[in-house]
Structure 1
């Protein structure tokens, strides 16, 4: 159980720090032609299979490319595969590789490269994504060491044809494959030691890593072997790694960074006035998770529903997020592209209903502790709002914020009743949100178990029609609403601040910054 906890704990943190009063000397810009982008913390490796850090995945999108990808409109688009066909029964996917697809050393990319890639990805240590690929025939047995990879239905028919066969029709399989973590990579030993071996790595994307400068600044240069190099408009991009938001904002104001993502809310108005700000809906939310392993009143669904009715989601979005988000009226963001109905949660608190459910729970004054990551002021504001509401009901509640290392220990030791955490989908389909509550999911570290829910998710996965799939997904959501193991609060928007001379920046629904076509418009540079 502890291993399972450790794999996922890093995913609950939202890495945004409060702004400070840091001043830096503003640099003049006149001839610089390359983009400077801050991604925060650099990855420990270029596999990135043990975390879901969106900013680090931006680097993956620069250096590597998969069979397919998603554009800024979240539409599936060709990448190293120029076309694909799906069999009538929905079980066989055939991808055709581009003739011009090459590694950065000029060697042709072949279908067998993807076969080898998936064989390694599936058995990578602490891979939090492997369950996504269990829809592939033989994949789960291979991970569990029951068969060798020859029994996995990922096959190179020839150098330019890759075939993948599934256990059941999976309507969102292309969404799964479009994620940055399935971008084609090779020589995993170099990827694990990338800071020392970057010159030995074979790149498949629009840029190569050319150098690591002091203070962990990365210099990326255009990959001239990339199949779509004509669309890559920058010869060079610099990636900085200032992990503290206060310093990142200072670098931006001093013209040492051109692009920052999700800055502190307190500075957003300043960027809006300069027309250096844009926002878009995301698939990342903030929620309350209940520690169902701990026992006591927390395990009572009526008590959890009482807390749900105390929450004023509209107030949190308008006054705590200051409008850069939306209230969570469902477990699934409203901008997910499918036809499943929303299971509506209340926008406003309903204290009368909260009192009725609290009475049914037979709450006897047990002390309730809310833990949260104290890396940004918004977390504290949300928790304070909830604590204030719970005290109206005379619930004996306290809250405590922790730094990253402290919170990991608190979660590992189960020293909390309720946890304020972020959650997000890896791709544009509701399954990636809902299946995390399955009993055997690596993401389910809070003790929720429901045979009815597991059955609904399984039936949704193997449903033969879209209509049936939606029906079972809605059933799963209804079960979650009734059991309330987690309370969605809000979904946060993607916020990007960029200089006016930066052109063609794109951001997808998940929040990845796509730098493939970005460039500096020198006519807009300040002399």
Structure 2
């Protein structure tokens, strides 16, 4: 009898132990809220030429790689692998002092030699249009062309704790250009051409490592040698379109959506789930140089009407855009004397032969369709001019200065002057042939900005191509995470994201 009682007691104790174990262990096993999940439209497995990737794939590179310097959300240059930079010899030499506490993901220290090797690799492997800043380094172009020795003939040298760049010509934007994704330190750049098969054998300089990749998902894990209070895991998942991503966000399956549908912005902002940032993108109105129907005074009046239309448009879309007010670049809005002069030029009534119909074209996109339809309605309600529009393929839009079937075009583009797809190239297309070729041949941001200033008044005063508005970036965010933002280059800044539920 005692044996039976003893057996029953032991069985009850075992059951109680198992119940307690299950109750306690199950929550620990789930680790709820540790993963940060966001979506991209597609996964690219060739990450060798980073400057040619879209922003969301660049995010993956940025999460796993750090640069000498980075550009924060306020467009301020901040140190990363370097702790300081000294500019010498009237801007021709840049001496970066490296931090003492920078490590690869395997625990080995990042050395100046590692950084020099990386720059040697991207000098030959990155697409040329993405490294104009680097090609301005002494001897770099010749080395890329197959001449000379990197260690002896290229102006990149290093010491025990620094790396030095010697330029051919002064470039005031050199440090800012080094903040771009293609200049983030990677090991064995050639292996990034097939990242799906090589991610496991690589070591990384960034805050995260690539833990796993599949056809629909990339999993990033926090670098064990990074001493930051940031989320432990990031999941990058494919979503086909912003509407799909937004639906997943609303049910808690995504923690961030970049540029959600415009119709959702005000609601998300009211709910405290939106980050609104200044984007590096603008919209311009380009008049057809072959169109003899709209003379100078006519172009002036049409531009005035477009500005009035967008003033009304902004009332309900202030999170989406900001009026340019005569500025070609956002930084120009601080130049009050220039803005005032252009406002004076734009006011007042002028005599012109008003057409019954004007024809607008823009690149095919749902965004441009919505804007064009708004403009058609605005002209119908506020003028006696009928506006019609056509949406065309980008290849056709790029040849607009060769056609004469339209009166004007909406042109949008990136304001980063070093990008091959920068709006700079569209702006200078409206110059005469010989001058156009001269301006397009300029590649560094410093050269392009300096020379653009010399033609800016011509483009505005002759009403060839004129600024309309600047875009904003918007980020829908899950409130359980803190400190989410885009950096100055439009990429997610993974170095600060914390889990709000666990952050101290």
Q: Does TM, scored on the shorter chain, surpass 0.5?
A: yes
Deviations 1:54-106 (A, max 9, x none): 33322222111111112233221111122221114221111122333232233
Residue 477 of structure 2: which of 498, 503, 525 is its match? 498
The answer to whether residue 423 in structure 2 is matched with residue 422 in structure 1 is no
Structure 2: 5+ residue runs without aligned partners?
1-29
1:312/1:192 CA distance change after superposition, 3 Å: same
Question: 2:490: which partner in 1?
Answer: 511
Residue 309 of structure 1: which of 299, 304, 319 is its match? 304
What is the CA distance between 1:323 and its match in structure 2? 4.6
Counterpart mapping for 1:108-147 below 5 A: 108-124=109-125, 126-143=127-144
Question: 1:235: which partner in 2?
Answer: 232
Question: 1:9: which partner in 2?
Answer: none
1:145/1:323 CA distance change after superposition, 3 Å: same
Task: Give yes or no for contact 1:332–1:433 (8 Å, CA) kept in 2.
Answer: no
Task: Give yes or no for contact 1:340–1:474 (8 Å, CA) kept in 2.
Answer: no
Q: Equivalents in 2 of 1:197, 1:100: separation in Å? A: 27
The answer to whether residue 397 in structure 2 is matched with residue 400 in structure 1 is no
Residue 372 of structure 1: which of 363, 385, 389 is its match? 363
SS of the aligned residue for 1:238 comes to strand
Q: Equivalents in 1 of 2:284, 2:148: separation in Å? A: 39
What is the CA distance between 1:328 and its match in structure 2? 1.2
What is the CA distance between 1:174 and its match in structure 2? 1.1
Task: Give yes or no for contact 2:129–2:419 (8 Å, CA) kept in 1.
Answer: no
TM-score (norm 1): 0.73
1:203/1:380 CA distance change after superposition, 3 Å: same
Task: Give yes or no for contact 2:208–2:222 (8 Å, CA) kept in 1.
Answer: yes
What is the CA distance between 1:432 and its match in structure 2? 5.2
Task: Give yes or no for contact 1:457–1:472 (8 Å, CA) kept in 2.
Answer: no
Residue 259 of structure 1: which of 256, 259, 263 is its match? 256
Counterpart mapping for 1:11-26 below 5 A: none
The answer to whether residue 220 in structure 2 is matched with residue 224 in structure 1 is no
Q: Equivalents in 1 of 2:287, 2:117: separation in Å? A: 40
SS of the aligned residue for 2:247 comes to helix
Deviations 1:33-57 (A, max 9, x none): 1211224333453245453633332
What is the CA distance between 1:396 and its match in structure 2? 8.6
Question: 2:35: which partner in 1?
Answer: 34
Task: Give yes or no for contact 1:35–1:519 (8 Å, CA) kept in 2.
Answer: no
Bigger helix share: 2
1:148/1:88 CA distance change after superposition, 3 Å: closer
The answer to whether residue 174 in structure 2 is matched with residue 169 in structure 1 is no
SS of the aligned residue for 2:52 comes to coil
Q: Equivalents in 2 of 1:395, 1:194: separation in Å? A: 55
- Alignment RMSD (CA, Å): 4.3
1:308/1:117 CA distance change after superposition, 3 Å: farther
Task: Give yes or no for contact 1:317–1:326 (8 Å, CA) kept in 2.
Answer: no
Structure 1: 5+ residue runs without aligned partners?
1-28, 464-468
Q: Equivalents in 1 of 2:151, 2:292: separation in Å? A: 50
Residue 324 of structure 1: which of 313, 320, 325 is its match? 320
Q: Equivalents in 1 of 2:166, 2:73: separation in Å? A: 29
Question: 1:271: which partner in 2?
Answer: 268
What is the CA distance between 1:204 and its match in structure 2? 1.2
**Greater C-alpha radius of gyration:** 2
Q: Equivalents in 1 of 2:483, 2:388: separation in Å? A: 47
After alignment, is 178-187 or 257-266 more displaced? Answer: 178-187
In the comparison of the two structures, how many residue pairs are matched? 467
The answer to whether residue 70 in structure 2 is matched with residue 69 in structure 1 is yes
What is the CA distance between 1:372 and its match in structure 2? 1.9
What is the CA distance between 1:253 and its match in structure 2? 0.7
Task: Give yes or no for contact 1:434–1:477 (8 Å, CA) kept in 2.
Answer: no
Q: Equivalents in 2 of 1:162, 1:394: separation in Å? A: 64
Q: Equivalents in 1 of 2:293, 2:212: separation in Å? A: 52
1:161/1:482 CA distance change after superposition, 3 Å: same
1:162/1:508 CA distance change after superposition, 3 Å: same
1:262/1:348 CA distance change after superposition, 3 Å: farther
Counterpart mapping for 1:189-200 below 5 A: 189-200=190-201
TM-score (norm 2): 0.76
Deviations 1:381-421 (A, max 9, x none): 3223445678999989642335xxx5446647977855534
Deviations 1:90-134 (A, max 9, x none): 211111223332322334333233333333434446443233444
1:319/1:190 CA distance change after superposition, 3 Å: same
SS of the aligned residue for 2:231 comes to coil
Residue 456 of structure 2: which of 477, 489, 492 is its match? 477
What is the CA distance between 1:275 and its match in structure 2? 1.7
Deviations 1:120-163 (A, max 9, x none): 43444644323344433334455566766567643233353211
Task: Give yes or no for contact 2:115–2:185 (8 Å, CA) kept in 1.
Answer: yes
1:323/1:63 CA distance change after superposition, 3 Å: closer
After alignment, is 330-339 or 504-513 more displaced? Answer: 330-339
Q: Equivalents in 2 of 1:40, 1:77: separation in Å? A: 30
Higher relative contact order, structure no. (Cα contacts within 8 Å, ≥ 6 residues apart): 1
Deviations 1:257-276 (A, max 9, x none): 01112111211233233221
